Structure 1
Amino acid sequence: MSQPVWVPKPEQMKLTRLYRFMNKHGYSDYDLFYEQSVRNIAWLWDEVVKDLGLEWIQPYRQVMDTSDGIAWTRWFVDGKINVAANCLDRFVKEPASRHRLALIWEGDNGETRKYTYRDLWVEVNRFARGLKQLGVGAGDRVAIYLPMIAENVIAMLAVARIGAIFTPCFSGYGAEAVATRIRDCEAKILITADGFLRRGKVIAMKEEADRAADLSPTIEKVVVVKRLGRECPWNRERDVDWGILTENMKALPPHVTDASDPFMIIYTSGTTGKPKGTVHVHSGFPVKAAFDAAFGFDVGPGDILFWVTDMGWMMGPWMVFGALMVGSTMLVYEGTPDHPAPDRLWQLVAKHGVTHLGISPTLVRALMKHGETWVSRHDISSLRVFGSTGEPWNPDPWYWLFEKVGHSQVPIFNYSGGTEISGGILGNNLLKPLAPCGFTGPLPGMDADVFDENGQPVRGRVGELVLRQPWVGMASGFWQDDKRYEATYWNRWPHIWVHGDWVEIDEHGFWFITGRSDDTLKIAGKRLGPAEMESVLVDHPAVLEAATIGVPDQEKGETAVCFVVVKPGAESSPALSRELIDFVSAQMGKALKPKRVHMVNELPKTRNGKILRRVIRAVYLGEEPGDLSSLENAGAVEVIRGLALKK
């Protein structure tokens, strides 16, 4: 399917942490190292935590224990560890690292603040002590409903420091979505802000937080960050000023937490029913995030990691723990990548010297329509690696990022896993050639395969992405819903994790995700990932973005219906719709000819750029769309609802 377009140079390879780690254990060939990493899972993670220099309050006696079944593997048995101490204290103790930058924050309006590891440690201790004053103890749940500001990071670390559990909420949620999460985990504290800036406008937040608290009987106090200093409602019985709460500067020792103690419950939207509260533990998510950042993306001290995301999505906490656990720096940005002009993202990279930029294919498509002249205005030579996750690539935006922005020198580290994984299953590899839109394969320690419908490994055609063995970072179930966790991932084949992605391995050994398996079409007996048809559509000169769904069809069983956003200057018309139907038919064959192509102004997405195909399909077919709390643009759904009524 694809030939490599980027090949690492030997001198580049030798500088990577992965190469040094392999070399230390007697491996110079990555494939042999990978085989060892999945042949002896316990060996790998034992050596990884040593290499990361993690500090244990009490050493573990066993790396992994599967006596309760693979789905319930326990890691670093009897070990005591606190993630906040490993993110901060161990670096603050060392003169060489205590004054290294840990966090850079930039607001929508250009305001900037910087925190060294010691600065951040001080702020975390202050807030941790404040939480203790409010009666928060080990195991208590704290909901964090904050914009992308420094206090979001401080709150996460402070909650973990005292042994409590935080649940991050997307800053764009309405009150009901926040309350659903609060009620499910029975949080006693809600942390919010008076508001934030987005595209130069004030977005009120405290009022929404008040409504969420009113809907949540377990909330005792609402802690408020006065980000804007705006007038907002104030409940003297319930509200607490962050500034007043953090006046005590005395340090607070980290709580002694077990390796298997939860520190975070992060919710993912369900296709139906309530969101799933994924439970992560002190020795899980942070270790996996740090491993993928350090040994995958090659993030380390002196590097600046910036992922365009929100703390309510997995890649937000991943950035926090991936950066701090390896002693590097993160950039947290409040605003949007194209405000006040289309070069804001590149301006941020140049201003702060970003080395690792995480960006979604959807965002690249949005930026490329403005052309590369906006990129060339800035010196972005600090960039060493692009990261991408969230959805499959189409060739055009991938090549634009690689060639026009990175000048064919900056590798695109394609990365796919999920909230329940704590990072990636599949990734690229800075020691091997990279192919457009694809993956070099599974990350070390991830025993991945592709199964057909009979549970047999398959090559050269699409199958289910599965994992044969446990891994550090695997979810410790869903909050108070173990049966749902087992039913979601472990019930199809014995002792096999079924991830829900359709994947194909081509003749060169590159892996390609073609879409979610619940998004997959089966037209006239042929399985088709929506990304395949979408890639054809965006190859048409008039099409900017596309989404494909399957709808019931009497003749074929199922047929494709497509939704496209046309490029500026192109005209939406019935003639263009017919042209696109014929274009797909000519490229993919008459059997896969779409039934309809609809023109829309935008596709339903989350803020981090995922196209919500399940929502498109449900609304178009008049079905219940399920949880819409992660939706960024509700108007796009109503347009599709209108199209459905006309069909």
Structure 2
Amino acid sequence: MGSYEEIFRSSVEDRERFWLDAAGAIDWATPPTQALDESNPPFYRWFPDGELNVAYNALDRHVEAGRGEQAALIYDSPVTDTKRTYTYAQLRDEVAAFAGVLRDLGVSKGDRVVVYMPMVPEAAIAMLACARLGAVHSVVFGGFAAKELAVRIDDAQPTVVVSASCGIEGKRVIEYKPLLDKAIELATHKPAKRVILQRPQAEAAMGEDDVDWASAVAEAAPADPVPVKATDPLYVLYTSGTTGKPKGVVRDSGGYAVALAWSMPNVYDVGPGQTIFTASDVGWVVGHSYIVYAPLLAGATTVLYEGKPVGTPDAGQFWRVMSEYGVRSMFTAPTAFRALKKEDPDGEFARKYDLSGLKYLFLAGERLDPETYRWASKLLDIPVIDHWWQTETGWPIVANPAGIELLPVKPGSPTRPLPGWDIQVLDGDGKPVPAGTDGAIVAKLPLPPGAFPTLWNDDERFLKSYMSAFEGYYLTGDGGHLDEDGYVFVMGRTDDVINVAGHRLSTGGMEEVLASHPDVAECAVIGVTDQMKGQIPRGFVVLKAGVDTSAEGYEEKLRGELVAMVRDQVGAVASLKDVAIVDGLPKTRSGKILRKTMRGIADGTDESVPSTIDDASVLDTLRPVLRKE
């Protein structure tokens, strides 16, 4: 296969040949003759003359190749005590049947379908059914509140919404149907129909626009795969923006399929018939790429797990899953392993299971702290591979490519750029900085296949948010440095998006909620370091003049109201539990709140007073609150 250096060099020196060769791993209705269309930068398009169907590549072709009886998807749900295995043939038939349901409800090529579901096989089936029809799915994380769902419905304008009667968080049953009903009430766009999967844990009351999943599937004729252009969108996935309004990341069909098919053997060292267990959620990009699409494109077996790493029913569930299904590679967020470490520091649960089949542990979604890295490495005695990527990129930017060769590990680094990713670190003037010097991490254009070509119906925001800071480069929003060996060190976000247990959330969105309270004059939300979740939000509010605070328990009552508002309008996933009432917020002379300075003081990483501050005394007053003295 060649060494990392050889493969990376070939991707840079002969990009056209490299990616056309990689496209050979996909079955095309019309094979591409051109890899990259560079006619309208920075709106690059991959495989512009190719046509394919991604669901056909994920399912039908494996059945036609004689591997229909191999396990495709394993559903394991300790929270409902359910296990179910779908072969490739069974999953293809389920997807074709549900695609027939969507077709009969008026969904056709290019239409959008919002999927608002818990971690159940039907979520993956709905995604693949959309892909089979050439429709565009937009999965919304089941932990989001009605307001967040409504915003996404208005932006995507779906023909149909697919949901379930409930989801399960730990021991709590969360009814989804009331949240969906409220979202549609709030939304300007009204989807024609809603398909509801009834779950026994909580049955939903059905309305006239609601369609029962099971009944509809029983009556529908299966749908055939519909070829689409490689440049046609496969899905839209919303990610947090600094303004609070989510950004609809577009994923194309052909480039994404090629990139994921390349990544499975080369990055994760997983091939046909082997098993990958990605402990994430289908509502996030990791779930899209490495629970659903990549494993199935590669002909592997994927585990879809409903539950948490601990407490369902004990801290041994991850180890049980790995042992029971012969998992070769596991992929999750560092938060999950911090939880395991806290619950079972000596690894007693892990030693109860045969983990001899596990070859790699991949961690991503947030910074991997050295202590968690050392604990997992010692416990498992296998390569623990940190790697870095984003919703916008769709697959890893920087990794230790296990399927090519394992490079020497440097704790704190997700290792080196993968083929197609020309990663550089620039200063504020757009000049490269010396090795070891922090700056803005950027990727030279064009981005490789699989990365987003634009934002949904918002080319202008795509340019402003990602392509305008440094001409010819994609601004990742992360800061860090390269060392003398070309290893990448990602130190954290340079914007106001925080990472809570691997979930990217906008502090701006939380601030909008806090500011809507009638007693609040202004506010700020910052992300501070948390030992378990990586980061958690802390809120600071300044009250309006004239607010009567003399009533007994006023401040405690206000804090409770603010926390409840964020939970109701953003969702429990925000994890905002700490709101301080303060006299003022530190600002620049132009009136911008110094959130970065506040973060530095709260984390103890930077106590300096910026020269741009308007009134240093405000910061002096706030410092004990930030430090929690």
Q: TM-score, normalised on structure 2? A: 0.79
2:327 match: 354
Q: Structure 2 vs 1, CA of residues 243 and 43 (structure 1 numbering), >3 Å: closer, same or farther?
A: same
| Equivalent residue in structure 1 for 2:10, among 36, 52, 69 | 36
Unpaired runs of at least 5, structure 1: 1-19, 23-28, 521-528, 532-560, 567-601, 603-608
C-alpha displacement at 1:519, in angstroms?
A: 6.3
2:436 match: 460
2:426 match: 451
1:592 match: none
Q: Structure 2 vs 1, CA of residues 323 and 610 (structure 1 numbering), >3 Å: closer, same or farther?
A: farther
| Equivalent residue in structure 2 for 1:341, among 308, 314, 328 | 314
2:180 match: 209
C-alpha displacement at 1:646, in angstroms?
A: 7.8
1:551-595 alpha-carbon deviations (Å, 9 max, x no partner): xxxxxxxxxx995668xxxxxxxxxxxxxxxxxxxxxxxxxxxxx
**Letter of the aligned partner of 2:98 in structure 1?**
F
C-alpha displacement at 1:286, in angstroms?
A: 2.9
**Letter of the aligned partner of 1:349 in structure 2?**
M
| Equivalent residue in structure 2 for 1:497, among 474, 482, 488 | 474
Q: Tell me the distance in 2 between the aligned counterparts of 1:641 and 1:367.
A: 35
1:447-466 alpha-carbon deviations (Å, 9 max, x no partner): 11222223222211112211
1:104 match: 74
| Residue 83 (structure 1) aligned with residue 54 (structure 2) | yes
1:47 match: 21
1:16 match: none
SS of 2:330's partner is strand
Q: Structure 2 vs 1, CA of residues 562 and 142 (structure 1 numbering), >3 Å: closer, same or farther?
A: closer
1:24-83 alpha-carbon deviations (Å, 9 max, x no partner): xxxxx3213212211222221111111x2x1111122311111101x2111112211111
**Letter of the aligned partner of 1:503 in structure 2?**
G
RMSD of aligned Cα (Å): 2.8
After superposition, residues 64-463 of structure 1 pair within 5 angstroms as 64-69=36-41, 71-95=42-66, 97-107=67-77, 108-216=79-187, 217-228=189-200, 230-235=202-207, 237-248=208-219, 250-319=221-290, 320-338=292-310, 339-370=312-343, 371=345, 372-404=347-379, 406-407=380-381, 410-430=382-402, 431=405, 432-458=407-433, 459-463=435-439
C-alpha displacement at 1:361, in angstroms?
A: 1.6
C-alpha displacement at 1:294, in angstroms?
A: 2.3
1:179-216 alpha-carbon deviations (Å, 9 max, x no partner): 11011111121111111333233221122122222233
C-alpha displacement at 1:402, in angstroms?
A: 0.9
Unpaired runs of at least 5, structure 2: 501-525, 545-561, 583-601, 603-621
1:155-194 alpha-carbon deviations (Å, 9 max, x no partner): 0010111111100010111111111101111112111111
C-alpha displacement at 1:633, in angstroms?
A: 4.9
C-alpha displacement at 1:639, in angstroms?
A: 4.3
- Is contact 1:146-1:191 (8 Å) kept? yes
2:598 match: none
Q: Tell me the distance in 2 between the aligned counterparts of 1:201 and 1:124.
A: 29
**Letter of the aligned partner of 1:153 in structure 2?**
A
| Residue 484 (structure 1) aligned with residue 461 (structure 2) | yes
After superposition, residues 546-557 of structure 1 pair within 5 angstroms as none
SS of 1:210's partner is helix
C-alpha displacement at 1:248, in angstroms?
A: 4.5
1:277-335 alpha-carbon deviations (Å, 9 max, x no partner): 01111113332223222211111112211112111110010111110111001100111
SS of 1:369's partner is helix
- Is contact 1:190-1:213 (8 Å) kept? no
Q: TM-score, normalised on structure 1? A: 0.77
1:136-163 alpha-carbon deviations (Å, 9 max, x no partner): 1111110000101000010001011111
C-alpha displacement at 1:415, in angstroms?
A: 1.7
C-alpha displacement at 1:85, in angstroms?
A: 0.8
Q: Tell me the distance in 1 between the aligned counterparts of 2:376 and 2:281.
A: 22
| Residue 611 (structure 1) aligned with residue 535 (structure 2) | yes
Q: Structure 2 vs 1, CA of residues 37 and 131 (structure 1 numbering), >3 Å: closer, same or farther?
A: same
- Is contact 1:519-1:530 (8 Å) kept? no
SS of 1:493's partner is coil
**Letter of the aligned partner of 2:330 in structure 1?**
L
1:518 match: 495
**Letter of the aligned partner of 1:489 in structure 2?**
Y
- Is contact 2:160-2:191 (8 Å) kept? yes
Q: Structure 2 vs 1, CA of residues 564 and 443 (structure 1 numbering), >3 Å: closer, same or farther?
A: closer
Q: Tell me the distance in 2 between the aligned counterparts of 1:189 and 1:253.
A: 19
1:477-518 alpha-carbon deviations (Å, 9 max, x no partner): 111111000111110121111111112222444321111123
Q: Tell me the distance in 2 between the aligned counterparts of 1:282 and 1:128.
A: 17
Q: Tell me the distance in 2 between the aligned counterparts of 1:186 and 1:530.
A: 28
More displaced stretch, 320-329 vs 195-204: 195-204
